[in-house]
Amino acid sequence: MASAITPSLRASLERLKHAGAVNGICLAWRRQILVSLMPYENFRVEQLVHTLNDARDHFQSNGGRSVESLWMAFMDVHVLAVFRGECTLIVLHIRPEEADFLVGAAQTFLNDAQLLVAAALGSAAAEELAELEDDEKNWLPQPPRIDPNQTNVIR
């Protein structure tokens, strides 16, 4: 699967890896690793992807929450997972004060990379991403309606 990823996506991940004190970065789709720039073996990174997806599912299980990111602090490293649709970007970093900056950079990356990921995965994923974008367009503010029966209409 990772061989099908376009070189520009991998290059973008490598540039993102150089933002701040980042030790490793991984892009996953559902529970599959697309690109891993982690300092660990792939089976360990796959376990991390599964664990973070399980944690997200657990916190969303009541139906009242929508988890967009998870941040976990350990003794020597911090794990940041940012979710966008079916994609997950996992970042290992050292400095906790960089967490907000990295979340913003990861969200921007995931928004910009959706088309590249969809092209790499095939047409089925592209249709799912198009539906997700259509849902987001429905949440945008609507232009004001002019209704003469309302008292706040200026003539």
Question: Phi and psi (nearest 5°) for 55?
Answer: -65, -45
> Domains in the chain, ordered, with CATH?
2-138 (3.30.450.30)
Strand partners for 81:
70, 90
| Main-chain phi, psi angles of 11, to 5 degrees | -65, -40
* pLDDT per residue rounded down to tens, the chain (155 residues): 444 455 677 888 888 888 778 889 999 988 888 888 899 898 999 999 999 999 998 888 877 788 889 999 888 899 999 998 888 999 999 988 888 888 888 888 888 887 777 777 775 555 665 665 555 555 555 555 565 555 554 44
Token pair listed for 87? 């994609």
DSSP state, residue 30:
T
